[in-house]
Structure 1
Amino acid sequence: MSNQIKFSGVKKVFGRGPDAVHAFGPVDMVVEDGEFVSLLGPSGCGKSTLMLMTAGLLDVTEGSISIGGTPVKGPQTDIGIMFQDNTLVPWRTVRGNIELQLEMRGISVASKRAEIDAILASVHLEDFADRHPYELSGGMQQRAAFCQAMIHAPKTMLLDEPLGKLDAMTRERIRSDLQSLWMEQRPTVLFVTHSIDEAIQLSSKVAVITPRPGRIERVIDIDLPYPRDYEVKRSPEFSAYVHETQEIFRGYGVI
Structure 2
Amino acid sequence: MSHHIEFAGLKKVFGTGPDAVQAFGPVDLSIAEGEFISLLGPSGCGKSTLMMMTSGLLEATEGTVTIGGSQVKGPQTDIGVMFQDNTLVPWRTVRGNVELQLEMRGKSLKEFSDKIDNLLASVHLEDFADRHPYELSGGMQQRAAFCQAMVHDPKTMLLDEPLGKLDAMTRERIRSDLQRLWMQERATVIFVTHSIEEAVQLSTKVAVITPRPGTIERIIEIDLPFPRDFDVKNSPEFAAYVREIQEIFRGYGVI
TM-score, with structure 2 as normaliser: 1.00
Determine the C-alpha separation between the residues in 1 that align with 2:249 and 2:217.
Answer: 11
Query: Aligned runs of 1:18-29 on 2, under 5 Å?
Result: 18-29=18-29
The C-alpha deviation readout for 1:164-183, integer Å capped at 9, x for no partner, is 00000000000000000000
Letter in 2 for 1:173: R
For 2:31, the equivalent position in structure 1 comes to: 31
Deviations 1:205-244 (A, max 9, x none): 0000000000011100000000000110000000000000
Name the aligned partner's letter for residue 197 of structure 1: E
Q: Secondary structure at the match of 2:227?
A: coil
The whole-number CA distance in structure 2 between the counterparts of 1:127 and 1:219 is: 41
Per the alignment, residue 189 of structure 1 pairs with 189
Cα RMSD, aligned residues only: 0.4
Q: What is the match of residue 241 of structure 1?
A: 241
Give 1:68's aligned residue: 68
Name the % identity.
79
Aligned partner of 1:89 in structure 2 is: 89
Distance 2:24 2:115 in 1: 39
Q: Return 5+ residue gaps in structure 2 as ranges.
A: none
Q: Which residue does the alignment assign to 2:254?
A: 254
Aligned counterpart, 1:148 = 148
**Residue ranges of structure 1 left out of the alignment (5+ in a row):** none
CA distance in 2, matches of 1:11, 1:183: 32
- SS across alignment from 1:13: strand
Cα deviations by residue, 1:78-105 (Å, 9 ceiling, x for unpaired) = 0000000000000000000000101111
Give 4+ residue runs of structure 1 displaced > 3 Å after superposition.
none
Which whole-Å CA distance do the structure 1 matches of 2:180 and 2:153 have between them? 14
Task: State how 1:142-221 maps to structure 2 within 5 Å.
Answer: 142-221=142-221
SS across alignment from 1:149: helix
**Cα deviation 1:131-174 (Å, max 9, x = unaligned):** 00000000000000000000011000000000000000000000
Residue 101 of structure 1 pairs with residue 101 of structure 2: yes
Match of 2:57 in 1: 57
Structure 2 Cα separation of the partners of residues 252 and 184 of structure 1: 37
**Does the residue aligned with 1:3 lie in a helix, a strand or coil?**
coil
One-letter amino acid matched to 2:195: S
Q: Which amino acid aligns with 1:164?
A: G
Give the SS at the match of 1:219: strand
- Provide the C-alpha distance between the structure 2 equivalents of 1:198 and 1:174, rounded to a whole number of angstroms: 11
Q: Give me the TM-score of the superposition, normalised by structure 1.
A: 1.00
Partners of 1:209 and 1:153 in 2: CA distance: 29
Q: Render the CA deviation track for 1:40-98: whole Å, top value 9, x for unaligned.
A: 00011000000000000000000000000000000000000000000000000000000
Distance, in Å, in 1 between the alignment partners of 2:231 and 2:202 is 14
**Number of residues paired by the alignment?**
255
**Alignment partners' CA distance in 1, 2:35 and 2:197:** 18
SS in 2 for 1:190: strand
Deviation track 1:88-136 (CA, whole Å, cap 9, x = no partner) reads 0000000000001011111100111111110000000000000000000
Give the 3-state SS of the residue equivalent to 1:111 in structure 2.
coil
**Distance in 2 (alpha carbons) for counterparts of 1:153 and 1:226:** 22
Aligned counterparts of 2:38 and 2:46: Cα–Cα separation in 1: 13
**Whole-Å separation in 2 of the counterparts to 1:221 and 1:112:** 36
Q: CA deviation at 1:247?
A: 0.2
